[in-house]
Structure 1
Amino acid sequence: MLVKRIITGLIGMITAVYVINFGDWVFSAAIVILALTAWHEYYRAFSYMGMKLTYFGGMAAVFFTLACAWQGNSDELLAVIMFATLLILSKAVLYHDKFTIQEACISIAGICYVALSFSHLILLRFTGSEVFVHSTLGNVSLGCSFIWLAFIGTWASDTFAFFAGSLFGKTKLCPQISPGKTVEGFIGGVLGTSLSLMGLGMLFNFSLIHMAILGVLIALVATVGDLVESSFKRFTGIKDSGQILPGHGGVLDRFDSIMFTVPFVYYYVQIFKIF
């Protein structure tokens, strides 16, 4: 099991470096595939409870939402979410004997959860795509550097929280949802993420104050994202969202924190103009 996790992790890291740095259609296509897989996992999780969500309607809504993000069309993106919501609620009225209002609401929640979060990966990657950041490792686009802030910050949060919790963890953080998480682990994650972001800040010549603050906030948001996905799994009674990543579970298992941190980083850099 450990060997599988290590091999999958190495392959994933190499793939991430190529896809993120290459950008353009390769990055967008990869995010679309991940998002559609995440929706499939979400649908399947609730199907174990006997719920029949709007599978193909959800697939279409997720795809077109990400396509709008790819084209930078925020109005069209909002329109897709709006009409998907209206159509699904209408289905609950027209076919109320086969499709309940509860299933409609859970379908809409899943579409928003998956489509909007993954859309922000595309939006963040193509932020300031014409601007390049000069670093000690060469020149990268501004959006590329922002994606690395979100990804490395999230990974740092998970890693430092795990080791700090293993060494010092005593006080449970949220035992009803995730018994393994501790307050001490969370504090370790916050400190480790801030230091990691400050290191990246020096590499990309970003404000260290902003990096320290962003590190604290990423650790907080990443923890919430992880707990949200744990809540889904506890509610539906599944152990992993999928098996597509050997030793790591499914897309939702691996991207649960990223789905929260990336939108947060996107709006942080837009509001505070750290570039």
Structure 2
Amino acid sequence: MLKKRVISAIIGILLLIFLVFSGSLPFFLTVSVIVSLAVREYNRMLNIESKTLKSIISVAAVLIVFNVYLISNDFNYLPSGIIFFIIIFALYLYNLNNYQEENFIKNISHQLFSVIYIGGGLSFAVFLRDLNQGPFFATSALWLVLIATWLTDSGAYFVGKKYGKTPMAPVISPNKTVAGAVGGILTTALFIILAALFFEVLNIYYFIFAFTFPVIAILGDLFESCVKRSFGVKDTGTIIPGHGGILDRFDSFIFTAPFTYYFIILLLG
């Protein structure tokens, strides 16, 4: 399992480096593909069989990413309120046409949640890649999130495997330990503090960010574990050998990306 994880990670990192530096448009298309695959996994957990509904949810999620691409490149874009209305209205029309009295609210809530959670969360990858504010330029903000998220996951995995005894959330995810969480937090905090020192920008906000970031990453991981447990699945997919599905790989990023973006905009920038 570890060998598969390492090989998949190396291939993924090399591919990601190429795609990030290939330009804003190719990166937007990459994120759109990732979003579509993640939505597909979620639809599978929901047992959605309708091709029409699958298409509506996928297009809705990608629409959010596309609008973010337009915003980040200073093109004409639709206000977020209009995007939100279009998505809700499309889901409403489908569920009205396929009305199920007892499950109407439940169905439309699950469908809307997948669009916001996946499309909304992953769209911040585009924001971060194109962000130029304060000490962050070119693609540096995106790399900060990607590396710090990976370090949190890796630190928690290796420290937890060696020293972990006390489960952190035994009901939600029995394999996650307190020692692993501490290892992930300290590993990432050290990286962020050292990076801030290297670029001579360390202040109280970076210090707060250094310890808050890995906590958000762990919460994102636990959140996806809650979702999987509610659907009774172990992994969201098998597309990434040794890692599971797209959602298994990007669960923390979906939380850390928007958190970092707004932390930069409001405090770090």
Q: TM-score scaled to structure 1, two decimals?
A: 0.87
Does the alignment pair 1:122 with 2:122? no
**Correspondences of 1:106-255 after superposition (within 5 Å):** 106-128=110-132, 142-207=137-202, 209-255=204-250
Asked if 2 retains the 8 angstrom alpha-carbon contact of 1:157 and 1:193, the reply is yes
Distance in 2 between residues matched to 1:204 and 1:15, nearest whole Å:
27
Q: State whether structure 2 residue 265 is matched by structure 1 residue 266.
A: no
In structure 1, distance between residues paired with 2:61 and 2:200 = 35
Distance 1:204 1:78, change over 3 A: farther
**Residue 69 (structure 2) pairs with residue 70 (structure 1):** yes
Q: Identify which of 63, 80, 85 aligns with 1:82.
A: 85
Cα displacement (A) at 1:220: 0.8
Task: Answer whether contact 1:61 1:81 (CA < 8 A) is retained.
Answer: no
Q: Deviations over 1:193-213 (max 9, x none)?
A: 110112222344432543332
- Report the Cα distance in structure 1 between the residues aligned to 2:4 and 2:205, rounded to whole angstroms: 37
Matched residues, number: 264
> For 1:206 and 1:18, how far apart are their aligned partners in 2?
28
String of CA shifts for 1:237-270, please: whole Å, max 9, x gaps. Answer: 2221112112211110100000100000000000
Distance 1:167 1:66, change over 3 A: same
**Structure 2 residue ranges without an equivalent (≥5):** none
Matches within 5 A, 1:94-113: 94-97=97-100, 100-113=104-117
Aligned residues of 2:53 and 2:94 also touching (Cα < 8 A): no
Q: Comparing 64-73 with 94-103, which one deviates more in the overlay?
A: 94-103
Distance 1:189 1:232, change over 3 A: same
* Contact 1:89/1:101, CA 8 A, preserved across alignment: no
CA offset at residue 97 of structure 1? 3.6
**CA distance change for structure 1 residues 170 and 53 in 2, over 3 Å: closer, same or farther?**
farther
Residue 55 (structure 2) aligns with: 56
In 2, the alpha carbon distance for the partners of 1:90 and 1:190 equals 45
Percent identical: 30
State the alpha-carbon separation in 2 of the partners of residues 201 and 177 from structure 1: 34
- Kept after mapping to 1: 8 A contact 2:42/2:114: yes
Deviations 1:6-54 (A, max 9, x none): 2211111111222223442121111111011111111011118x89993
Give secondary structure in 2 for the equivalent of 1:47. coil
How far apart, CA to CA, are the structure 2 residues paired with 1:197 and 1:53? 44
CA contact (8 A) 1:164 1:185 kept: yes
Cα distance, 1:132 vs structure 2: 9.2
> What amino acid maps onto 1:81 in structure 2?
F
Question: Offset of 1:184 from its aligned partner?
Answer: 2.1
Per the alignment, do residues 132 and 68 of structure 1 end up closer, same or farther by CA in structure 2, a change over 3 Å counting? same
Change (3 A) 1:107 1:220: same
Q: Distance in 2 between matches of 1:145 and 1:220?
A: 21
TM-score (norm: length of structure 2): 0.89
Give every structure 1 segment of 4 or more consecutive aligned residues whose post-TM-superposition deviation is greater than 6 Å: 50-53
2:94 counterpart residue number: 91
Deviation at 1:143, TM superposition (A): 4.6
Structure 1's 4 and 184: CA in aligned 2 closer, same or farther, altered over 3 A? closer
CA RMSD of aligned residues (A): 2.4
Runs of 5+ consecutive residues of structure 1 not aligned to the other structure: 134-140
